[in-house]
Structure 1
Amino acid sequence: MRILTVVGARPQFVKAAAISRAVTAHDQSKGDLEDVIVHTGQHYDESMSRSFFDGLGIPEPRHNLGIGSTTHGRQTGLMMNALEDIIDLESPDVVVVHGDTNSTLAGALVATKRNLPLVHVEAGLRSFDRTMPEEVNRVLTDHVSDLLCCPSSTAVDNLEAEGIVDGVHLVGDVMYDVLLDDLATLDSMASPVDSLAVDPPYVVATIHRASTTDDPKRFDDIVHALTQVATTIAPVVWPVHPRTSDLVGGLTVPDSLHLIDPVSYHEMLLLVRGARTVVTDSGGLQKEAYWLETPCVTVRDTTEWTETIDAGWNSLTGTDPDRIFEAVDNSSAPETHPPLYGDGHSAGRIVELVRSLPH
């Protein structure tokens, strides 16, 4: 069975790594699976992409479509056009898509049009905010998928509320698989803060979403909040995403607000593990902060990871600087830490489900 895995953004590399590792483990004994990775180039930075693939120990994508940034509709259309050619070339038996990017939607639509079984990893998530492109991508992808792999019971309930019950499976979160597998790697690495002369407690921040970075006021409000945090609460370490590098280039910030180059997957986990608080607009980092038992402040109005809010480990502030500052100042670890998002064996379950698909 040949699996075509479509990725396009760095969090999807982590998810693809979980599946790739599970395929490799399965294939060592049965030898009936092949995972072909296609990188659409949706978010492409040579050094950052390579560091993720190298660090995660998975093969380079067999195909890089090099689509790059453009409008949502044009980007999705270009991806679909290129993916059709890849399907003609590779003749896959099943297509696997992850998460909620334009790459996800493009892969889903092409698979459906070509009558190929479609697997959606991280199905059923809902922020209930249709102004977010990611929410539209999630909903559309779920409604054309044959196998829907949900990270939580909430995700299963969301699908049932939309009338989707066939092919739905609660498997857990594949990103948790990778984090657990790689904890030993973290123990042998130096943290990026070691070269900054920054000691705990510190705050780690990541800002990259278009809804944040493309709105000057929202971005300025976040920078103002982080400046206040850095000067009155704790030093802030901010790995600057390629999307925001031009925006921060001309900023004047205090010495306690450390703007650093992008970091690898493992380096980010080290930063989060050592932080007092995470400030982010990232979906994946909300979960990673939870798993590493670091309180999180999410500078969005909604989140698809509602369980982290309910558990008291995450708070939503929007981009209001006063709310961000207050949330960071008051952040602390709750007494309980329920086991959200599975047991670290999600990818193995998904591989077995994929093998059961007709082909």
Structure 2
Amino acid sequence: MLIDIIAGARPNFMKIAPIIASIRDAMEAGNDISFRLIHTGQHYDKKMSGDFFEQLGIPEPEINLGAGGGTQAEQTASIMVGYEKLLLENRSSLCLVVGDVTSTMACAITAQKLHVKVAHVEAGIRSGDWTMPEEINRMVTDSITNYFFTTTEIANESLRRTGVTDDRIFFVGNTMIDTLLKNRAKFIKPNIWTDLNLNEQKYIVMTLHRPANVDEEGKLKKLIHEIIDNSEDLPLIFPVHPRTAKMLEGLGISHDRLHMIEPLGYLEFNYLVERAKAVVTDSGGITEETTVMGIPCMTLRDNTERPETITIGTNELLGTDPRSIKPAMTKLFSGEWKKGAIPELWDGKTADRIVQHLLKIKA
């Protein structure tokens, strides 16, 4: 069985690394399974892509579709054209997509139209917010998926409500956490740690990239100033996403505690997260990592596709109103932030469970 593993953007890489390792183990054990890694080229900035392959031990992709930048429609079209050509020349047994980026949806559609079955890792998660491109990607992908690998029982219920039968749902856990636990002892101290003489629990990590937060200059400025004004005397470490960097160019935001730096590699970034007082973010994946590492997390979004990080973990959903930051910071600094726990099956063995199911599927 030849499986296409699709990777297109930074969030995918942490999810595919343990799957590749588990497939290799199954191959060495003599099982009829193999893979080819397909990089769609959706993210092509080295810090947003290349470093992850090196740090996580992901092999060089056999195929790079070179989709590059452009609008959502342009990227989708480019990925579909490239992947269709590949499948017509060399058909695979199964297309395995992960997460909710454009590449996930585009390759799932292309595979199904050529009668190649689709498996979706991280299936069933929903935010309910149709303004998010990722939500559309999730809904479309799950509507044409054959095999659903899920992170929580919440995702299972979401799929059942749409008519997916239990025999196609596989509750396996979270491959992001496989990667986190495998690499936790290998985290790398970034230069900013030494440059600023940082100390554990004595700084806050920030990430912002979603349109609702960064596309309006006035709102972005208010958010950052609220974080600065209510973070006591702690340094704020802000690895800036390329999308956000473009918006910040003309705003002239500066403060002696605000340190805007280039995007970090996976091992460097999580070194900072693991030792932070808290994380302020609008990312989804980071809320999962902070939950497992027990770090307080403030999410600047009005909804989340990962409710378990709130009901079980260390995350709180603040919304996108800058005024929500002050009470959350007050709660943090008063020592009243919840401790949280780790969701079921987020144990570092998810990829092994996925591969065992794939061996039985024989697509």
TM-score, normalised by the number of residues in structure 1: 0.94
Cα displacement string for residues 244-263 of structure 1 (whole angstroms, at most 9, x for unaligned residues): 22223343311111111111
**Secondary structure of the structure 2 residue equivalent to 1:182:** helix
Cα distance, 1:45–1:336 mapped onto 2, change above 3 Å: closer
Deviation at 1:89, TM superposition (A): 3.3
CA distance in 1, matches of 2:44, 2:235: 30
**Secondary structure of the structure 2 residue equivalent to 1:61:** coil
Cα distance, 1:312–1:20 mapped onto 2, change above 3 Å: closer
Cα displacement string for residues 18-64 of structure 1 (whole angstroms, at most 9, x for unaligned residues): 11111112222115322211122222202442211000011122222
CA distance in 2, matches of 1:329, 1:153: 33
CA distance in 2, matches of 1:9, 1:190: 24
Cα distance, 1:22–1:133 mapped onto 2, change above 3 Å: same
Higher mean alpha-carbon deviation, 67-76 vs 139-148, is at: 67-76
User: What count of residue pairs does the alignment treat as equivalent?
Assistant: 356
Tell me, yes or no, if structure 1 residue 204 matches structure 2 residue 208. no
Deviation at 1:283, TM superposition (A): 0.8
Deviation at 1:68, TM superposition (A): 2.3
Counterpart position of 1:288: 289
Counterpart position of 2:343: 339
CA contact (8 A) 1:143 1:164 kept: no
Cα distance, 1:194–1:90 mapped onto 2, change above 3 Å: farther
**Secondary structure of the structure 2 residue equivalent to 1:70:** coil
Tell me, yes or no, if structure 1 residue 318 matches structure 2 residue 319. yes
Deviation at 1:117, TM superposition (A): 1.2
Cα displacement string for residues 88-126 of structure 1 (whole angstroms, at most 9, x for unaligned residues): 233211100011111110011011111111000000101
Amino acid at match of 1:157: E
What is the aligned-residue identity percentage?
Answer: 38
Deviation at 1:11, TM superposition (A): 1.2
CA RMSD of superposed structures (Å): 1.8
CA contact (8 A) 2:212 2:320 kept: no
Counterpart position of 1:105: 105
Cα distance, 1:195–1:25 mapped onto 2, change above 3 Å: farther
**Secondary structure of the structure 2 residue equivalent to 1:356:** helix
Q: How does 1:1-359 map to 2 (within 5 A)?
A: 1-30=1-30, 32-165=32-165, 166-186=167-187, 189-191=188-190, 192-199=192-199, 200-230=201-231, 232-250=232-250, 251-311=252-312, 313-331=314-332, 332-359=336-363
CA distance in 1, matches of 2:256, 2:74: 41
Amino acid at match of 1:344: G
Give ranges in structure 2 of 5+ residues lacking alignment. none
**Secondary structure of the structure 1 residue equivalent to 2:125:** coil
Cα displacement string for residues 312-344 of structure 1 (whole angstroms, at most 9, x for unaligned residues): 621112222221232133135424524345321
**Secondary structure of the structure 2 residue equivalent to 1:96:** strand
Higher mean alpha-carbon deviation, 6-15 vs 316-325, is at: 316-325
CA distance in 2, matches of 1:344, 1:43: 26
Amino acid at match of 1:296: C
**Secondary structure of the structure 2 residue equivalent to 1:123:** coil
Deviation at 1:293, TM superposition (A): 0.4
Cα distance, 1:64–1:196 mapped onto 2, change above 3 Å: farther
CA contact (8 A) 2:228 2:258 kept: yes
Amino acid at match of 1:102: T
Q: Structure 1 segments of 4 or more deviating over 4 A?
A: none
CA contact (8 A) 1:227 1:253 kept: no
CA contact (8 A) 1:233 1:329 kept: no
Amino acid at match of 1:305: R
CA distance in 1, matches of 2:215, 2:66: 22
Deviation at 1:129, TM superposition (A): 1.2
CA contact (8 A) 1:272 1:289 kept: yes
CA distance in 1, matches of 2:27, 2:71: 39
Higher mean alpha-carbon deviation, 26-35 vs 133-142, is at: 26-35
Cα distance, 1:37–1:213 mapped onto 2, change above 3 Å: farther
Higher mean alpha-carbon deviation, 344-353 vs 232-241, is at: 232-241
CA contact (8 A) 2:291 2:342 kept: no
Cα displacement string for residues 275-304 of structure 1 (whole angstroms, at most 9, x for unaligned residues): 111111111001001111001101110001
Amino acid at match of 2:101: T
Give ranges in structure 1 of 5+ residues lacking alignment. none
